Copies of this chain bind each other. A is one copy, B any other.
Amino acid sequence: MLNLRLLVLVQGLFLSKLALLMLIPVVAGWYFDDHSSFDFLLATAATATIGGLLAAVARFRPAPLNASMRPRDMFLLTTLIWLVMALAASLPLVLVEHISLTDAFFETISGLTTTGSTVLSDLSNHPPAILLWRSLLQWAGGIGFIVMGVGILPYLNVGGMKLYQTESSDWSDKQVPHLKHYTRLLFTAYSLLTLACAVCYLLAGMSWFDAINHALTTLSTGGYSTSDQSMAAFPPACHWVGSLFMFIGGIPLLIFVQSLRRKSWRPWHDEQVFGYAKLVLASTLALTLFLVLSQQQHWLDALRLALFNTISVITTTGFALTDYSAWGHFAMMLFFILTFCGGCSGSTAGGIKIFRLQVAWRIMIRHLKRQIHPHGTFVSRFNQRVLNDEIVTSVLTLLFLFVFTIVVLALALALMGLDTMTALTGAVTAVCNVGPGLGDTIGPAGNFASLPDLAKWALGVGMLAGRLEITTMVILLLPKFWK
């Protein structure tokens, strides 16, 4: 049986935290005098009330609350919490911007999942408090996903994440204080890195408001901007800063925490980070060479553009800098493929994640060797752990579901009348949590406002599925889950 009381309690507690977060734009609205404070305050009050009520109801019954959770509870909890948060967090957008619930929900889920697709245009004419709220959504969604990825998904063996599990294989009550401790450390590291990023942006020439907003959306690899021109609106120094901190955003945050505790910095001990760095380096060099040779660009400009766009694509941040469709077919194809790779697991990046590709690669090599010598014994490892059959099945499931979800979503979007390019890249950009698609409608120069309502909901579900490593959400569709 599902532990519904605990589910309700956790939703209530999270809603209260969300209400606290809403106080920031209340202050910002008052400071900038953009007439949004009252609406934000209204949303805060509503969220706090509902959150408090849910928590009270869950705690009310005389029987003591059973705090134990089984996998089924955890699957339902993780999916539900993102939906409930997204619904509550759309309130300010509805109240301040007077947009439909569809648009508000799309913008919010796109923010919380750090996707960064937007229905808003002419960004500089919107109230600063709204721009800050969008950035905050990405920042909060980013740390939420990291905590989920470190603390919960490994126990559920989602997409081979058991490889990143530190303790025993079962979830027990002991994990809760442990998780709380880690959450505090992760939150601190995330905040410090964000602060460092904001200071660097400020020094590189952004206004302090732009610096804060972009720091929030860079570390979370979210990609929301305060300008319609995205990163192109800022001087080159900002692009180097952005490249550095997007790259950091694609590294597992836990590595920073562990380094602080051990007082030694050795990220290369995670083979995933090594693979990630190699991929970024190789793609950047290839593209720089390509730009210098075929477009006669100065090598420093070429390096800056290649580095920024490569990292923006691999980490699925989705900041736009130049219209790289003018770079020709090789660059387009390379970026399209890199989108699927994503950054490291345990970071805010979307996509398949580097370590799954590494694991699939090693399983493949092992299988090929076995085919050559059927009676030989071949073992493959990742981070010193043996890749056992549970991991293999888990990775296969995720890869299969990943492709399947994109295919179904693309077909559904095409059926809703979207053209092939928009339907296909829209599905990819949603499920990989990238942000912009390709083509005239949803490309870097466009936005998602003109899509039919149904398509916006479908894309929203796709973003959430991508953020939840798909498995976590799809499992709820099995009849077995509810029995």
- Chain A residues packing against B (C-beta within 8 Å): 71-72, 75, 156-158, 169-170, 329-330, 332-334, 337, 360-361, 363-369, 371-374, 389, 392-397, 399-401, 403, 407, 410-411, 414-415, 417-420, 423-424, 471, 474-475, 478, 480-481
20 further contact pairs, Cβ within 8 A, besides A71-B374, A367-B394: A75-B372, A157-B371, A157-B374, A170-B374, A330-B415, A333-B420, A333-B424, A337-B411, A360-B396, A363-B397, A366-B393, A367-B393, A368-B397, A369-B478, A372-B478, A389-B389, A389-B392, A389-B393, A392-B392, A395-B396
Report the Cα distance A368→B361, complex, angstroms: 23
Residue from A337, A363, A367, A401 with most neighbouring chain B CB atoms (10 Å) = A367
Report the Cα distance A401→B364, complex, angstroms: 8
Nearest CB of B to A100, in Å: 25
Q: Is the interface of A mostly helix, strand, loop or mixed?
A: helix
Contacts of A371 in B (CB 8 A): 71, 75, 156-158, 471, 475
Nearest CB of B to A437, in Å: 14
Q: Does A414 lie within 8 Å of B478, measured CB to CB? A: no
Nearest CB of B to A58, in Å: 24
Contacts of A411 in B (CB 8 A): 330, 333-334, 337
Q: Does A475 lie within 8 Å of B372, measured CB to CB? A: yes
Q: What are 11 A-B contacts with C-beta separation under 8 Å?
A: A71-B373, A329-B419, A329-B420, A330-B411, A332-B420, A333-B424, A337-B411, A360-B400, A368-B474, A371-B471, A396-B396
Contacts of A170 in B (CB 8 A): 374
Sorted nearest first, the 9 A-B pairs with minimum C-beta distance are: A389-B389, A333-B414, A367-B397, A329-B414, A396-B396, A330-B414, A364-B397, A329-B420, A367-B393
Contacts of A333 in B (CB 8 A): 410-411, 414, 420, 423-424
Residue from A330, A366, A389, A399 with most neighbouring chain B CB atoms (10 Å) = A330
Nearest CB of B to A326, in Å: 13
